[in-house]
Amino acid sequence: MKPKEILVFGASGQIGKNLIRKLTKNNYKVVAVTRNIHQKGYVLKTQANPGYLDIIELDMVNEEEIKHLYNNCSICINLIGILYEKNKNQFNKIHSLLPNLLSKLAREKKIDQFIHVSALGIENATDSKYAKSKLEGEISVRKNFENSVILKPSIVYSIDDSFTTNLMTLLSHLPIMPLFFNGETKFAPIHVSDLTEIIFQIISNEIKNETIECIGPEEISFKEIIQKLLKSIDKKIILIPMPLPLAKIQAALFEFLPSFLQGGRKQLTSDQLKLLKYDNLPSKKYRTNFDLGFKAEKKFEKEIDKYSYNWRVGGQYSKDKVSRKNQ
């Protein structure tokens, strides 16, 4: 049987890279789309054996070119997403209009499956632009194409993420860590390999017309996440709850400062602060991966221990390259 060709938008990100490896190892041919092949080509081309991966550079405003890409694929996966707005990259365009277009084309081209990755815990966050735009994207996808699967993951983590790695860099440098909302917000982190296994199962089992909340095996508060990261990088610092008015000022300041002064990405925006108010847990409106028999068993503490050595004393990302005892 001819293996199905899978078109992946947002392929160069954390989930995309890991997904390409999973799919191509299992004999699927992947067409990975990026906006900049010079920047992302080297990351993408090392994810698969020759013959299993085509890389396409595409400016996502060109509808005709996007349409053309659908001609040879039977499955399309949308992983495009942003954490904050910058210039042309606005939440509405990326999280609402783009999924609307991609799912309309999926219907027009009569492909087998359209898999759209949205986010968990956004239903109640009506004051967040990120959450609202993601929800609008879900509504369009559901309306446009019956054979769609919408995935709503909690935090997805791995050595390739910008969550645990970024936090470990901060924790390695800071003497104190502020906790927003007392660090009580809860998450159900899922390891990227568990999420890519779920996507693989959705494709293999030809699941259609589902919305699935994707969670890991544990519920952990933000404070517990920080404590686990600190333990893993073998560092002790003070954690202090930050009053909301001060947190708002901090977020506004980070939003104003250019990203290059913040390690290449905004550390906190006002919209992210709003989102942190809401637990990132299943809404119970949809089935979870566990309900469908797709277990996610990787535990947060055990997994981060596999790569946190980079942030321990002497590690390549640690502030302290040499142990003070040896100085």
Ligand X SMILES: NC(=O)c1ccc[n+]([C@@H]2O[C@H](COP(=O)([O-])OP(=O)(O)OC[C@H]3O[C@@H](n4cnc5c(N)ncnc54)[C@H](OP(=O)(O)O)[C@@H]3O)[C@@H](O)[C@H]2O)c1
Buried-exposed string 66-81: b where 16+ CB fall within 10 A, e elsewhere: beebbeebbbbbbbbb
How many residues form the binding site for ligand X (CB under 6 A)? 23
Select the span of 7-15, 179-187, 223-231, 260-268 touching ligand X (CB under 6 A). 7-15
Minimal CB distance to ligand X: which residue?
13
Contact between 47 and ligand X per CB under 6 A? no
Give me the DSSP letters along 42-109. Answer: HHHHTTS-TTSEEEEE--TT-HHHHHHHHTT-SEEEE----SS-BTTB-HIIIIIIHHHHHHHHHHHT
Contacts of 97 (CB under 8 A, 6+ apart): none
Distant-in-sequence, close-in-space partners of 291: CB < 8 Å, separation ≥ 6: none
90-54-203 Cα angle (round to 5)? 75
What minimum distance in Å lies between the beta carbon of 17 and ligand X? 8
Provide, rounded to whole angstroms, the least separation between the CB of residue 61 and ligand X: 9
Residue among 7, 15, 177, 188 that touches ligand X (CB under 6 A): 15
99 binding ligand X? (CB under 6 A): no
Site for ligand X in 134-193 (CB under 6 A): 153, 155-156, 161, 163
Smallest separation, CB 135 to ligand X (Å): 12
Is 315 a residue that touches ligand X (CB under 6 A)?
Answer: no
| Closer to ligand X by Cβ: residue 117 or 141 | 117
Residue closer to ligand X by CB (options 163, 317) is: 163
Distance CA 137, CA 264 (A): 27
CB of 238 vs ligand X, minimal distance in Å: 27
Instruction: By CB under 6 A, tell whether 13 contacts ligand X.
Output: yes
For residue 213, give the nearest of 300, 282, 116 by alpha carbon.
Answer: 282
Q: Would you count residue 288 as binding ligand X (CB under 6 A)?
A: no
Per-residue tokens: 181: 């909302």
Give the alpha-carbon dihedral of 60, 116, 103, 140, to 10 degrees: -110
Binding string to ligand X for residues 53 to 92, with x set by CB under 6 A, is what?
Answer: -------x------------------xxxx------x---
- The stretch near ligand X (CB under 6 A) out of 34-42, 244-252, 270-278, 302-310 is 34-42
> Which of 7, 12, 187, 304 lies at the binding interface for ligand X (CB under 6 A)?
12
For the chain, the straight-line distance linking the first and the last C-alpha, in angstroms and rounded, comes to 63
User: Tokens 């996007």 sit at which residue?
Assistant: 66
Question: Which residues of this protein are in contact with ligand X, per CB under 6 A?
Answer: 10, 12-16, 34-35, 40, 60, 79-82, 89, 94, 117, 119, 153, 155-156, 161, 163
